[in-house]
Structure 1
């Protein structure tokens, strides 16, 4: 609500001035509403919408009530972040200036099935929520792959369509995915990585990459394009052959945390002028400056059925002052699709019978 009443010691607004101010507010609201309608496809029924993205994930993975539509299988973790102070010159965010910030996270598989075997995919994911003392939050979702397969939401949607079951056979067309990648040369770095990627035996041994670019903003308003990731330290680096069974990752994590906290270094890579900041399919050169922003410490795990991470939407555009999103179109698409998925699964949870276990 906007207060149009006169401030103390200031003459009241004239009728003309009041009309102009109200007119300006109306224009702003109309512009915001128009942007929202455009994103959701109101103006163009053929435009990609958040619902379309979530629908194709449901088509490919099935609907599992109460679960996330992607990264459905996971486990909650909690701990804190210890800042090194090294990033405070680049960002005014409290997470980089305070000694310790509470964290609630979630390890997961990149699959829409909550029952997928842990060895079925080589990618692992880690989402984090940092809650600052001032109440502001930083939420981020990271993956063990170094780059995203494609650079736009439309291309990602087309990739999902290529993996959709053919109504005639009930199975995906085996020629569809190769045809998609043949038409998308930007996927070459991801395809090169996936050729040698193998399922790890532990969430603790993985490096997790933010992939998308963001901006750190310091107290003087200076902006620095960055990408971030977390690199395992000490005990997290020990790995072995994946265990037998479908759920070895959660079992391994519980065992490791029973022996003590697990730690990762938060590494923030600074872009040079000209580095691509709006395309997550393109890597930055390896010689870029990397800050050691601090240490992520995970102390305990919780089942995702009733853990604190269950009801968190790890929207990558929920950011504190001092961190801003880039114009990477995947960020806006992720934010909108996550919200759509969140509304669906929380609605389903509330409708489950009292004796039926929910696993969002």
Structure 2
């Protein structure tokens, strides 16, 4: 890994001197996310390997090029996991890409996002300098938490080299309940349940062939899960099949996603308390109402952004059809946030060579 790191640092220094854009890429499983990548390829897969793992301390430090599946397998051997369930979207997903994309799976609303589990990391900035931030414990940050800033930056601020992550034990018990409910009632119940001491972990509401259905996953101590099942009712699902279906939900392989392949897929991030939104068609709803997936035609993008903003959220063009390739992927920034983004880009990558334009056109 040290040799690969030296090559990457030299490559970035040369690119900065020449003003040559670099496209940072691990397994390429999330190339679709954000603005189209451009520049000469800088492959991170040589930055692989587990640097340290202390199961008793609930922390693991790995190279950014480490396959995500390899890390998850290592944790599973110790009965531990990445609680935020990072999506893979393909077999080549890497740990660095997981952090850079900043995407979380079905459990995000209950356990937190990727950034909440990043304890520290090392990056190479746009001048070829190796910088380290954070550490391997929770209470180690004074001032600006740069390590978590890298989550979701899509490599525009630096090449992630190494990451220290908080891991958690796998819950001892799990159950998935099924309810046939219209969207408004499902949202109402989710909001009510969220205010009670229930082991809620994930939820997914979807219209299955005209049958509106809410799936609710419970995780925690055996007694808590069983008591919640008795209290909430619903139809308990087969555990093995439910586990497969939640993985398919995580990686957008459910029938709902497959039925809308080829259309624009929008991600609306709104408050969990937001009501049923005025959308072109019924969405797939996750995160107890906080994340709503919408399939739409290219002409409906601006309307979706207005609807999301009116609800107190924002809309992202998550997967663009060919007809929408020119549509900005991310919700436009307010002027103060735009200025902060540009200032950060200037500070970390003054030559503007690292994944240029991946977040927003122009930086």
TM-score interval w.r.t. the shorter chain?
under 0.3
* TM-score normalised over the length of structure 1: 0.27
* TM-score normalised over the length of structure 2: 0.27
Compare the two structures and name the one with the higher strand fraction.
2
Give the structure with higher Rg (CA).
Answer: 1
Structure number with the bigger relative contact order (C-alpha 8 A, sep ≥ 6) is: 1
